[in-house]
């Protein structure tokens, strides 16, 4: 009789190895961007605080709730996919995508409000980082919605796990970006 | 931890940091509190949403890297005053 042992090393990682490589790469890029923001902020704390006063922390707070809730739907979709509840899994992935779209609409309204105030990349270093980091993150939200749509179409436990992992990475980046850019 | 419990915790922590900012909390201690809340949220997403709780070794590795990173960010927040 053979004894089953728990996976070790790389095999112990939940999900697809290449998705973890992508997640770590993305975290390094955003991590470096946010650390650079914090380092430049040290040189001009008053200017950064003044610039930050033009941001809408409430809208960003709402977007945080929206994104962590969509992550919850994606995590539940994986459980359903693993237990063969395909219709329910598709519905939950659809709900996660809808909340992703809500996030983008709030983000778009935020950009429109900045534009109406004449705030651009060149207004202050703060806004250079603001547009670069939040814009790059928004592109990942768009990519995540496309990936979740593909997963819902070609649904399987493995595909759902990979798609949900990408979506959670987008979520993870936002929970770090939110206080650093909007609240400090 | 089940995903629904993690989600409720994430909502509570997000509301906590937003309310801190909206009620005018400022200065070094407020910044450190908001970053600490973000740290806990990031850890929850890694452990529960990304299921690193099923791979304790990897979970500890990611937690260590996150701890070093957040310490650097907190240090920079203190330097900015």
Q: Is position A171 within any domain? A: yes
pLDDT digits (tens, 9 = 90+) for B22-62: 787 778 999 999 999 999 999 999 999 999 999 999 999 99
Q: Is position A8 within any domain? A: no
Encode chain B in three state secondary structure.
CCHHHHHHHHHHHHHHHHHHHHCCCCCHHHHHHHHHHHHHHHHHHHHHHCCHHHCHHHHHHHHHHHHHHHHHHHHHHHHHC
Whether residues B42 and A176 touch (CB distance < 8 A) is answered with yes
Provide, as residue numbers in chain B, all residues whose Cβ is less than 8 Å from the Cβ of A171: 45, 49
Residue with tokens 């509301």: B15
Averaged pLDDT, A105-122: 94
User: A71-99 burial string, b = 16+ CB within 10 Å, else e?
Assistant: bbbbbbbbbbbeeeeeeebbbbbebbbeb
Q: Which two tokens stand for residue A38?
A: 């914090």
Q: Would the pLDDT of B18 be above 90?
A: no
Q: What are the distances in angstroms from CA A80 to CA A83, A90, A121, A156, B15? A: 5, 9, 44, 10, 29
Enclosing domain of residue B42: 3-80
Whether residues A58 and B18 touch (CB distance < 8 A) is answered with yes
Question: Closest partner residue to A35 among B14, B52, B73, by Cβ?
Answer: B73
Give me the CATH number covering residue A23.
Answer: 1.20.120.80
Q: Would the pLDDT of A37 be above 50?
A: yes
Q: Is position A117 within any domain? A: yes
Enclosing domain of residue A29: 17-183
Domains contained in chain A, number: 1
Per-residue pLDDT, B11: 95
Q: Give the list of residues 6+ apart from residue A48 with CB closer than 8 angstroms, or none.
A: A40, A41, A124, A125, A126, B80
Domains contained in chain B, number: 1
Q: Would the pLDDT of A17 be above 70?
A: yes
How close, in Å, is residue B44 to chain A by CA atoms? 9
Q: Which two tokens stand for residue A29?
A: 């890029």
Whether residues B42 and A168 touch (CB distance < 8 A) is answered with no
Q: How confident is the model at residue A144 (pLDDT cuts 50, 70, 90)?
A: very high
pLDDT digits (tens, 9 = 90+) for A75-103: 999 999 999 999 999 999 999 999 999 99
Instruction: Write down the ipTM of this complex.
Output: 0.93
Question: Closest partner residue to B41 among A42, A169, A175, by Cβ?
Answer: A175
Query: Any idea of the CA torsion for B30, A47, A106, B38, to the nearest 10 degrees?
Result: -30
Q: Give the list of residues 6+ apart from residue B4 with CB closer than 8 angstroms, or none.
A: A72, A76
Per-residue pLDDT, A4: 63
Provide, as residue numbers in chain A, all residues whose Cβ is less than 8 Å from the Cβ of B74: none
Question: Cα–Cα–Cα angle for B32, B37, B42, nearest 5°?
Answer: 120
């Amino acid at each position: 009789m053979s004894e089953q042992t728990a996976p070790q090393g790389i095999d112990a990682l939940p999900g697809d190895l290449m998705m973890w490589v992508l997640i770590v790469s993305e975290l390094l890029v955003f991590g470096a961007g946010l650390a650079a923001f914090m380092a430049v902020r040290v040189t001009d704390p008053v200017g950064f605080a003044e610039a930050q006063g033009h941001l809408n922390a409430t809208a960003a707070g709402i977007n945080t709730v929206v994104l962590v809730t969509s992550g919850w739907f994606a995590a539940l979709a994986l459980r359903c996919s693993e237990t063969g509840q395909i219709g329910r899994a598709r519905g939950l992935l659809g709900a996660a995508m809808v909340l992703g779209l809500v996030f983008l609409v709030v983000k778009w309204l935020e950009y429109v409000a900045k534009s109406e105030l004449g705030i651009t990349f060149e207004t202050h270093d703060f806004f250079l980082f603001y547009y670069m980091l939040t814009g790059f993150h928004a592109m990942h939200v768009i990519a995540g919605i496309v990936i979740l749509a593909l997963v819902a179409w070609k649904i399987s436990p493995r595909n759902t796990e990979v798609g949900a992992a990408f979506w959670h990475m987008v979520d993870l980046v936002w929970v770090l970006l939110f206080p650093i850019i909007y609240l400090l | 931890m089940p995903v629904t419990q993690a989600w409720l915790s994430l909502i509570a922590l997000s509301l906590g940091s937003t309310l801190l900012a909206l009620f005018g909390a400022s200065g070094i201690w407020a910044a450190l509190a908001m970053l600490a809340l973000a740290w806990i949220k990031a850890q929850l997403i890694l452990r529960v949403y990304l299921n690193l709780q099923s791979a304790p070794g990897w979970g500890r590795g990611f937690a260590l890297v996150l701890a070093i990173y957040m310490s650097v960010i907190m240090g920079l927040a203190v330097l900015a005053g």
